[in-house]
Structure formats: structure tokens, C-alpha cells
A and B are shown apart, each in its own frame.
Chain A
């Protein structure tokens, strides 16, 4: 059975540890180029001892823009994104963190979307859909080139699951609200107004956990738009159904 052909994506490093590579080579009998441009999916049908079966998900798209209905609080806005996934997931290619440019909509109307156009191209390998990767974006703002960077909010969304949206909907933007943490008490509110310091979460991954975000108080203002599509491989063979 012909199994893994490499998926060639530019800029890929082959992340499989050298031990695994030696295991697969003699059984294939095929010449695989060791060029860093190929990612090898560890298909298991040749090797009876390893029973893990992978499917891989390649997500391509961009963070399109941020929209604030009454204009952003600061002049320049930039984003820092991070991809968070469960324990079974392995990032096969693509960056896990990223930082966008400083963008503004100063010259246009105040509630025009602030366009980032930040590409996201990642490939994940996993044995189970639990812990589906999410993208967690922190939005920061700055007034002019000498100002201090302050937090404008956080946003998080699951990356599109398999190809579950209908093809007509894929071109629409996924919108997520931007949530800004508020001060926990009135004294903290007064202190932050006097010192001009906004509260920030020490570890924004707390927002992705269901029980740890219990006492927090957030205010939502603005939304982020994403355009993401998925290509997957090997999931139907493992018996997963995701279409109606």
C-alpha cells in the first residue's frame, strides 16, 4: 500500500527524531530525499509494532483585520499570536508564535477595520482530535512611536475543525470578540487609572482552560477577523466522520 508521500511546503524542517527515520527507511525501499523541504508523515502500516496512527492537518490562512466600532483605544495596534494544542498534537511545520506589524487606521474613517494580513501556515500531526489547536491572540496598542505598549485584549478561537464548514462559508471571515480584563476591585481600578497601567493576564492560556478562569472579569470591545482553511490527510482512514 503506498502510504506517505511527503507534503512539500516551503521552509519545512523534518521534525521526526533521527531514530524514527532509520526505522522507516529500510522498510520503504524507496529513496526519500533528505532535503528539509519534505515532511514525512509517520504512517504505520509497514511497522506492526508501532500502533499509533497519525492524521495530519494543514491549516492555511491569515489574520485579516481587527475592527473596533468606535475606533481603537490606542493609535497603533499590533498582535501577538500563539498556537496552543493538546498533548497528542505535534507541530510538524510552521511557527508557533508570531508578531504582526504595527497597524493603524488613522488616515481613514475611525471604525474601518485595521488590516494586518498576517499569514498563518501550520501543519499539525496528531493521533486524536482531542485538544484541537486553538489560536490565542493578544492585542496590544501603542500611541505613536514613543509610547508604551498596553494591552487591548485577548481573543481565541479553535482552528477550523477538519473541513466542517460548507465550501460557500469558507470564504467568510471567522469573527471573534476581543476581551479585555478588568480590574478585580474598585481600589485596583483607581490605582490603575492613576498610574495609567492596564491589568494584563500573567498567562493568557488561563482563558483556554475551563476552570481556571473562574473569578476573572472581562469586557469585550472590538473583534478580530480570520480567514482559515484546512487540508487534512489520513483522518477518514481512521474512521472519523465530520460531514453531515
Chain B
């Protein structure tokens, strides 16, 4: 079985409007992929910066997967939530990126989107009432099936730094160059 090691960090989130953010992430892969060691989901602490408008999550990633097929290449899903003074949290960014398909060091920038408020009441609630709309079915994040009903706004970016180590792919004839 071929093996993939993903070692890295979810570094920071930039260009978001809210200062206090935390990030919930999970790694999904197809049926032919098995998790050998590591955790495929996590949540970072709430982070803010004293001077700039970014949030340093520095969430370490260390995952060991073994695969029997190339279909279902793993992808990293990221949901960024904002927290206000009353400790209420709401999502301000959804995004995903496929894990790169070549070994080595990579820096991914995941562009995120959030659900657009659909009227003036929704936008008022977003500013003062502890949050706007959220997705009820989060599998819309990675499937393209029912997205045409959704209205979204562009949100900030999440920067992820990954180093990938592959093993035994060439025994099965898989090439990366």
C-alpha cells in the first residue's frame, strides 16, 4: 500500500473582517484511503493579533494515510469562525483545497467564502446579533451538486504550510513528474 505523510501547519488567516477567529479543519479522503496514524480533524484556539489584522492559528498537522487507489485524493476543509465579546461564534469562511500531488514543501492559500445575508434584517443580525447565516449541510463545502441555490460573499484567505512525503507509489506505477 502506498503511503502519504502530511506534516505541516495551518499558519494564519488574513483579510478577514473580524479580529478574533478560530479555525475548524478536517481532512477528507476517498474510500480507498485509510488513516494509519494522526487525527483528521481539529480546532485551533481563538487567535488575534495585537497590531495587524490577521490571526495566527499555528495549528500543527501530522497525518499518515495509506492508499489503495488514486481516486479520492485527500483534501483539507477549513471553516473559519469568528467570536465576539459575548463568546458567541459564527462561521465567516468556508474553504477547501486538495492536498498537492507532488512531494515536497508547499504553501497553500485557501480562499474562503461565506453565506451572503439575504436581506437587511440578516445583515443587521450579522453585525450586532451574533452572526449571520451558516450552512446547514456542510457537505456543500466539497461537493458541487446543489450549490446553485446558494448566495455567497468572498471572505479572507487561510494560509497552510505543508510538507508531503510519499512512499512506495512507484511500486504501483504512479508518477508525479
Which residues of A come within 8 Å of B, CB atoms? 69-70, 86, 128-132, 134, 155-158, 161-162, 164-165, 176-177, 179, 207-208, 210-211, 213-221, 238-244
Given contacts A177-B56, A179-B58, contact A211 B39 (CB under 8 A): yes
Bound complex: CA of A230 vs CA of B5, how far in Å?
18
Q: How far is the CB of B68 from chain A (nearest CB, A)?
A: 17
CB-based contact A129/B56 at 8 Å: no
Nearest B residue to A186 by beta-carbon distance? B85
What is the total of A-B residue contacts with beta carbons within 8 Å? 119
CB-based contact B167/A211 at 8 Å: no
Q: Which of B4-39 contact A (CB under 8 A)?
A: 5, 7-9, 12, 20, 36-39
Q: How far is the CB of A151 from chain B (nearest CB, A)?
A: 15
Which residues of B come within 8 Å of A, CB atoms? 5, 7-9, 12, 20, 36-39, 41-51, 55-56, 58-62, 64, 102-105, 163-169, 176-177
CB-based contact A131/B56 at 8 Å: no
CB-based contact A240/B166 at 8 Å: yes
Interface of B is mostly: strand
Bound complex: CA of A188 vs CA of B152, how far in Å?
38
Nearest B residue to A174 by beta-carbon distance? B161
CB-based contact B38/A241 at 8 Å: no
CB-based contact A239/B168 at 8 Å: yes
Q: How far is the CB of B117 from chain A (nearest CB, A)?
A: 27
Q: Which residues of B contact A216 (CB under 8 A)?
A: 45-46
Q: How far is the CB of B35 from chain A (nearest CB, A)?
A: 11
Interface of A is mostly: loop
Q: Which residues of B contact A239 (CB under 8 A)?
A: 167-168
Bound complex: CA of A221 vs CA of B55, how far in Å?
10
Q: Which residues of B contact A241 (CB under 8 A)?
A: 103, 165-167, 169, 176
Nearest B residue to A164 by beta-carbon distance? B105
* Cross-interface CB contact of B51 among A157, A207, A213, A221, cutoff 8 Å: A221
Bound complex: CA of A174 vs CA of B86, how far in Å?
36
Q: Which residues of B contact A220 (CB under 8 A)?
A: 47-50, 55-56
Given contacts A70-B51, A179-B47, contact A161 B56 (CB under 8 A): no
CB-based contact B64/A219 at 8 Å: no
* Cross-interface CB contact of A130 among B9, B38, B42, B56, cutoff 8 Å: B38
Q: Which residues of A contact B64 (CB under 8 A)?
A: 128-130
CB-based contact B48/A132 at 8 Å: no
CB-based contact A243/B50 at 8 Å: no
Bound complex: CA of A87 vs CA of B169, how far in Å?
25
- A selection of 25 A-B contacts at a CB cut-off of 8 Å is A69-B51, A86-B37, A128-B64, A130-B62, A156-B60, A157-B58, A158-B9, A161-B7, A161-B163, A179-B47, A207-B45, A211-B43, A213-B44, A214-B43, A214-B45, A218-B45, A219-B47, A220-B50, A241-B165, A241-B166, A241-B167, A241-B176, A242-B103, A243-B103, A244-B102
